[in-house]
Amino acid sequence: MGVNSLVLAPGGEPAVMDDTEVDLLRSAPPIKIERIRRGDVVRVTEGPLYGHQGICSAAGDERVSVLFALLGRTTTVQLATASVECV
């Protein structure tokens, strides 16, 4: 689903938004997007590895590779970018 389908009403016509809704969106504070980079120390914020910290070994828009020390071994795990934060 692309952005186009989110702003189109049924039948393919542009969706109509109330002026108050548009004003509310414009007045909202900007969302801080934290860009994770290779070498950053990150913490898992959800899922079975919640709370574990590791080192980002590769980062993309939707997924990151995180290097963890688990059970005496070094293991790389692929995670959704949204499920980690920089420490």
Query: What is the model's pLDDT at position 6?
Result: 63
Instruction: Examine residue 49 and state whether it is found in any structural domain, yes or no.
Output: yes
Using 70 as the pLDDT threshold, list the residues of the chain that sit under it: 1-6, 32
Number of structural domains found in the chain: 1
What CATH number does residue 70 fall under?
2.30.30.30
**51 within domain boundaries:** yes
The answer to whether 66 and 56 have CB atoms below 8 angstroms apart is yes
26 found inside a domain: no
What is the number of other CB atoms lying within 10 angstroms of the CB of residue 42?
23
Residue 64 lies in a domain: yes
